[in-house]
Amino acid sequence: MLVFNNLLLIPHGHCYLWKPGLVWLNVVSDSLIGLSYYSIPITLTCLVRLRKDLPFNWIFLLFGAFILACGTGHFMDVWTVWHPTYWLSSWIRLITALISIGTATILLPLLPKALALPSPSQLQEANGKLQQEIADRKQAEEKLQMTLADLNAIIDNLADGLLVTDIPGKITRFNPALLRMFNLGKINLKGKDLREFYRPELLELIEPTRANTEELVSVDVELDNGRIGQASATGIFKETGASEGNRCLGFVILIRDITTEREVDRMKEVDRMKTDFLATVSHELRTPLTSILGFASIIQEKLEEAIFPLVSASDRKLHKALKKVYANISIIVSEAERLTCLINDVLDIAKIEAGRLNWHIQPTNPLQILEHAIAATSPLFEQSGLELIKEFPPELPEVAIDRNRVIQVLINLISNAVKFTAIGSVTCRVRINQNELVIDIIDTGIGIAKDDCGKVFERFKQVGDTLTDKPKGTGLGLPICKQIVEYHGGRIWVESELGRGSTFSFTIPIPAPSGNQSSCTNIDTLVKQLKQQVVSTTEVIGNQPKTILVVDDELHIRELLQQSLTAEGYAVTEASDGMEAIAQAKAVKPDLIILDVMLPQINGFDVAAILKNDPQTMSIPIIMLSIAEDKERGYRLGIDRYLTKPINMTGLSNEIGLLLDQGVSAKTVLVVAENALTRRTLSEVLRSQGYQVVESSEFEEGIDWALSMKIDLIIIDNLLSDEQDLLKTMRFVEGLENISLIFLGDFVAKRSQNRK
C-alpha cells in the first residue's frame, strides 16, 4: 500500500545530518511532548467520569481526542527520524486536523454559553450571600422566638384578663389573670367553646365587632367575690385587598378589674356631694345670720343711743330690765358671730378639699405677718393680762405664701394659746432650720395629754374634760391651719404635757437661693429686666400690654409671677410643662418667655433649644429661672437672661444697652482682641448680660465673621491697629457700614461711633 511504501523516502535523520546532539534533542522533546499529550486525555476522561454534573462535559472528551491525536503526531515525528513512514504520519496529522476543525466548530457556538457561566468569584460571592441569608434567617428566627417569648411573658403577666377566640367562638388564647378573675383554677380553656365559659354577656359583646374593624364594645361583668370587671372586645381583621375588604380572623376580649376604680369614683361622688352639701348649707345659713346680726346690732345701738339716755336712773326696775335685754342681745350677737366663724371654717374646709379656695401666693417678709398677727390679737393679751414674748431674729428670708391665710394660722394659734392659758405668758418664736422657717407658739397653759396631741388636728375634735372645762370654739380651726400649712409645703405639730403648757409649731419652706428664692425675692429685678427686654414705643403698637408666657410646673410660682406681672401691666399666659410651653409660644407669640429649668416631660434647656431653632419663636427673648448654674449651656442655646444672678451692667454693658435696641432676643457681639485674657473677660461680661459672643484674635478674621453672620455690634481692642486705620478699612466694606463699633483702650472703652 501507498501508506507503507516508503522505500523511495529517506529517514528524517538525514535532515539533521545525523548530528547526534540535534537528533536526540528533537527525539527527547517530541517524546516528552507526546507523553504529556497522552496524560491530558486520561485526566480529562477521569474528570468527566467523576464530575458528571459539569456543564458541557462532553467537550472535555473532544479536547481529549484532539490532544491524543496531537500526541500521536509527536510520537510519529520520533519514529520518522529513523523510519521514513511519512504517509502514516501524514494520515495521523489529517485525523488531527479533522478533530481540530470539529472541536473549533463545536466550541464557537458554545462560547457565549461558557462566558455566561458564573466565575469562581461570582460563585463565591453568591455562596457568601446565601450563607448570609441563611445566617440572617436564623437570626430572624431567633429574634422571632425571643419576641414571641417576650409577648407570651407580657400576656401571662398582664394584670388584665385576656381572652382570644376564633370566629366560631373557640378559645385560642387566654392568660392566668383571666383564670384568677373568675376563680377557674388551672383549667385549660384552649379549644373550648366560649359558651362553655358560661358568660353570655361576653357572647353578646363580640357580635357588634364582627363587621366593624374599629368598633370597641365594653360591658360590665361580674367577677369572683363580688368584684366588678369591665370587658372590652374588638375584632381581629386582616387586610386581603381592596376588592375583598378586611377578613375577620377572630376576637380579642380584655377584662379589667375596675372594683377599686368604681369605689374611688363612688367615694369621689360622696365627697363631692358632701362638699356641695356643706357649701349649700353654709351659704343658706349666711342669709338668716346676716339678718340676725344686723338687727341685733341695730337694737344694741338704739338701746345705747336712744333708750338708755331716756330712762330715769331712779326707775331701777326698768333700767335693770333694759340692761338684761342688752345683755341678751349681746349674747345673740356673740353667738351669731361664733356661728359665722363656724360657717366660715366649714366653707374653708369645703373649699380646700374641693380645690376651690383661691390662693394668692406672693413674696412676703415673715416679720411683717408676725407683727400683723400679734397686733390683731393684742386685745386678747390686754383682757387676759398675759405677757407676750417675741423671739424674732433681726432678719429673715422672704417666703412665697398666701399672706392672709398664714396670718389666719398665726391668729388661730395665738388665740388658742391665750384661751387656754390662765396665767403666765405666750411666746412667739421664729427660727430657721436648714431650708425651713419654723414658727413656734409656746404657752404656759393647761397643756394637752400626749394621747390627745394627734387628735387636735381632726375636725370637730376638742380635747380636754368637756364636763368641767368645756373649751370654746368650732373644732375646725386647727384642721384648717393644718390644711393651709400643708398647702404651702410645710408641717404642723404640737408638743405638750398636761399642766406644763403646749408648743404649737409649723414650718414654711424657704425657697432655694439659686432658683425659687430669686423668683420670690427678686421680683423687682425680674420686672426691671422685663422692662429692658420688652420695651418698644407704644405709639407703634398702641396701648396693648406686652404678653409674657410664664412656664413653671409649680403652681405657687406661676401664681406669684402672674400676680406680680399683672400688677405691672403685663398680660400673662401660663404653661405647666415643656410641651405646653412650646405649643403656647407658637400659638400666643408672646413678647417674652419666663422659663423654668426643671420641667416635667421636657426640661427648660430642651424647650429653649426647640424655640430658638424655630423661625416662629427664635426671636422671642427668654429669661430662665434656673436652679442649676449652667449659664454656658443656656447662652449657647440663646437664653437672654438668668434670673438667679442679675448682674449690674458695667460701663461697657451700659453702653451696649444704649447702642442696641432691646426687645429682641440674643444680640450678637463680635469681640476682636489679640490678648486671650481680654477676649475671655469681655466675653464673660457680655454673656452674663445675655449677649451671644463671637471671638476673634485678628481684625481680618473678625471682618470675615461679621460678613458671614448677623453681627449687631463689634468691640475692638484698638491695640491691634490704629483706630483711624480701622475706620477707613471698615467704611468701605459692604455690609459693615451700619454696624455699631466700640473701641477699647487698655482697660476701658474710649468712645463709640456709628458709621453711616
**CATH number, domain containing residue 287:** 1.10.287
In a domain, residue 2? The reply is no
Last residue of a domain, one of 257, 287, 315: 257
The number of residues in the chain equals 756
Same domain, 562 and 689: yes
Q: What is the per-residue pLDDT for 490?
A: 92
Last residue of a domain, one of 354, 370, 386: 354
Q: What is the per-residue pLDDT for 537?
A: 32
Q: What is the per-residue pLDDT for 493?
A: 92
How far apart CA 224 and CA 220 sit, in angstroms, is: 13
Q: What is the per-residue pLDDT for 426?
A: 94
Contact 620, 582 (CB under 8 A): no
Contact 463, 448 (CB under 8 A): yes
Half-sphere exposure at residue 599, Cβ-oriented, CA atoms within 13 angstroms: 27
Q: Is 693 helix (H, G, I), strand (E, B) or coil?
A: strand
Overall number of domains in the chain: 6
What are residue 463's phi and psi, to 5 degrees? -90, 165
Q: What is the per-residue pLDDT for 271?
A: 72
In the predicted model, residues of the chain with pLDDT beneath 50 are: 1-2, 465-471, 514-542, 627-629, 644-665, 746-756
Same domain, 410 and 498: yes
For the chain, the C-alpha Rg in angstroms (whole number) is 51
Q: What is the per-residue pLDDT for 389?
A: 92
Same domain, 108 and 132: no
How far apart CA 94 and CA 72 sit, in angstroms, is: 12
Half-sphere exposure at residue 701, Cβ-oriented, CA atoms within 13 angstroms: 10
Q: What is the per-residue pLDDT for 508?
A: 93
DSSP string, 321-336: HHHHHHHHHHHHHHHH
Same domain, 250 and 276: no
The helices-and-strands tally (H runs, E runs) of the chain is 22, 22
At 718, which CATH number? 3.40.50.2300
Same domain, 197 and 336: no
What is the extent of the structural domain holding 340?
A: 263-354
How far apart CA 231 and CA 97 sit, in angstroms, is: 93
Same domain, 327 and 368: no
Q: What pTM, to 2 d.p., does this model score?
A: 0.36
Report DSSP state, residue 461.
-
Per-residue pLDDT tens over the stretch 289-323: 666 766 677 677 778 777 777 776 667 778 788 88
What are residue 59's phi and psi, to 5 degrees? -65, -30
Same domain, 447 and 593: no
Same domain, 741 and 601: yes
Q: What is the per-residue pLDDT for 427?
A: 94
In a domain, residue 732? The reply is yes
